Amino acid sequence: MKAPRQWSIVIILVLLLILAWLVFDSLGAHNPLRDGLSQVISPLQLVTKRAWEPVSGLFAGVGRMSELRRENEALHAEVSELRTQIILLNEAQIENEDLRRQLDFKSGVPNYQLLAAEIIGHDPGNYWQYFTIDRGAEDGLRRGMPVLSEAGLVGRISRVSKNAAHVMLLIDPSSSVSAYIQRSRTTGLVQGHPGQGLVMRYIPQAETVVVGDVVLTSGLGGYFPRRLVIGQVVEVHRDDVEMFQSATIAPAVDLHGLESVMVLLNFEPFDVPEE
């Protein structure tokens, strides 16, 4: 019985407070109820606000971190794409420069029928003395055909399959090329030599050979056409008791840095001995 009576008293008090609130508001006078309630609620609001600020900041930070992570991932993807584009553009520029050099060389030797080929493999255990190109019998290649770059002679075709060919480099020990020194017209034989690259042998002792002399193919023997650049003399070996002198030759072509070559199709070499 007491509980209903207590609730009735509470309800009556609440109604009286509301009525008093409305009366004070209607009179436009100072409302002591509002002021008292504000004094009670304001500290609570301040405490609640200060307590919520770190939490709201944490939520805002988490949201911002997620946004930054998405932006970072998008930027990484964009940078990767741009880096790939730059690499492809650089590669295209290098290939264009290589093609331009080949075209310049072809225009300088209009009588040569040249076929461009890409290097697709090297000998891993023979000191780069041969490589494989992506042209073969279906492209008209035959054993013995000279292989060139715009800088000079590279070697010759030594084996041919349907879609690929094996190129023996000048520096191979079994390679030999009849040659002459441009300045003096002195002839000799250029051979591959392990550890020395190229050596020109059988140069008569009476002939003068100097460092810097340019060495070209002589065409003797019929294995290579005349006037292909082989390289330059870097060292002369002379012994007065010998019948001949020799010279170390630096190849005109960077044989280790090649990526593409040209095969001379319209030169018919003499019978090339089997490897």
- The DSSP code sequence of 23-38 is HHHHHTS--HHHHHHH
Is the model's pLDDT at 25 over the cut of 60? no
Query: Containing H/E element for 178?
Result: strand 176-181
Is residue 145 situated within a structural domain? yes
CB proximity list for 251: less than 8 A, separation 6 or greater: 152, 170, 171, 197, 198, 230, 231
Which of 78, 116, 120 has the alpha carbon at shortest distance from 99?
116
| pLDDT given for residue 76 in this prediction | 77
What's the pLDDT tens digit per position in 145-183?
999 998 899 999 999 999 999 999 999 998 999 999 999
- Look at residue 6 and tell me if it is in a domain: no
pLDDT band at 103 (very low <50, low <70, confident <90, very high): low
pLDDT at 105: 58
Q: What is the mean pLDDT of residues 8-21?
A: 66
Predicted confidence (pLDDT) at residue 191 exceeds the cutoff of 90: yes
Q: Is 3 part of any domain?
A: no
Give me the percent of the chain exceeding a pLDDT of 90.
41
Q: pTM for this one?
A: 0.64
- Residue 213 sits in a domain whose CATH number is 2.40.10.340
23 in a domain, yes or no?
Answer: no
Residue 185 lies in a domain: yes
Is residue 189 pLDDT above 90, yes or no?
yes
Model pLDDT, residue 148: 93
Between 24 and 77, the higher pLDDT residue? 77
Asked whether residue 10 is assigned to any structural domain, the reply reads no
Is the Cα torsion angle 45, 47, 50, 53 positive or negative in sign?
negative
**Segments forming the whole domain that contains residue 138:** 114-275
DSSP string, 218-239: --TTSSS-TT-EEEEEEEEE--
Q: How far apart are CA 189 and CA 217, in angstroms?
A: 9
When divided into structural domains, the chain yields a total of 1
Nearest CA to 156 out of 145, 171, 172, 141 is that of 145
Residue 251: inside a domain: yes
Q: Residue type for 266, please?
A: N
Question: How much is the pLDDT for 267?
Answer: 85
Burial class (CB in 10 A: 0-12, 13-18, 19+), 100: exposed
Q: Quick one: which of 229, 235, 168, 169 has its CA closest to 196?
A: 235
Does residue 272 fall inside a structural domain? yes
Range with lowest mean pLDDT among 59-63, 233-237, 262-266: 59-63
